[in-house]
Amino acid sequence: MELQGQVAIVTGGAKGIGEAIVRELADAGAHVLINYHTSNLQAEALASQVNGTAIRADVSTTPGCETLLLAASELGGPHILVNNAGITRDGLMVRMSDGAWESVVRTNAGSAFRMSRAVLPIMMKQRSGVIVNISSVSALRGNAGQANYAASKAALIAMTKTLAQEVGKRQIRVNAVAPGFIRTDMTAKLTEKVLDAATEQIPLRRLGEPKDIAPMVRFLCGPSASYITGQTFAIDGGLSV
């Protein structure tokens, strides 16, 4: 229960990697605000299971982020922010529309920027806090058909390093986790042929599960990681090696 008494925000927390992170942080004692945009039934069910709070908000917008901040403030936080919200709109760059580019970058990178900006004044005042950005192995090695997604996730790594330098003196730690191919709704859209080809590239020869990611996030949020900031941790079965 190393996070007992702390208030954590997990964006995109209703399913997939986000759900696994919510369960892990709740298991560590945190009260978790489960942000969702469309998955209301999953978010409400999860909140009841972990004694958390489900909050509907579009974190790609400033008002949406302010809604989450207000809810966290009423509970005495926020102490932890996990920027997990993300979408894909895949396609080769030569045929990628402005909308496909802008929506992915706005959601994946823009939401992390806006949520971090929202929580920082409180964290700076309390001289403590943790931000974990969920990036992707695509940011480290690229992935054909995902120029928008890879760019947005690479932006999170650059943002992580920069923000760690800016707020470290206030004892706020900022790190990133870069998952590989994980079984989620996103990978469920891929064909078996694509998944088999991806698996062949992974040294451990299997796709990951959301539960493979969540323990690292819990570690980074806890006191055992008190001297770690500005880092990116790839959890990808060796894909980025």
Complete DSSP assignment for 133-146? EE--THHHH--TTB
Q: Which amino acid is at 215?
A: P
| 89-108 b/e (C-beta count within 10 Å ≥ 16 → b) | bbeeeeebeeebbebbbbbb
Distance CA 34, CA 10 (A): 6
| Average pLDDT across the chain, whole number | 96
Average pLDDT of 116-139? Answer: 98
Omega of the bond prior to 78 within 30 degrees of 0, cis?
A: yes
- pLDDT tens for residues 153-181? 999 999 999 999 999 999 999 999 999 99
DSSP for residue 11: T
What is the model's pTM?
0.96
Check pLDDT > 90 for residue 192.
no
Q: Which positions are annotated as active-site residues? A: 149
Distance CA 85, CA 117 (A): 16
Average pLDDT of 20-30? Answer: 98
- pLDDT tens for residues 29-59? 999 999 999 878 999 999 999 999 999 999 9
Check pLDDT > 80 for residue 190.
no
pLDDT band at 198 (very low <50, low <70, confident <90, very high): confident
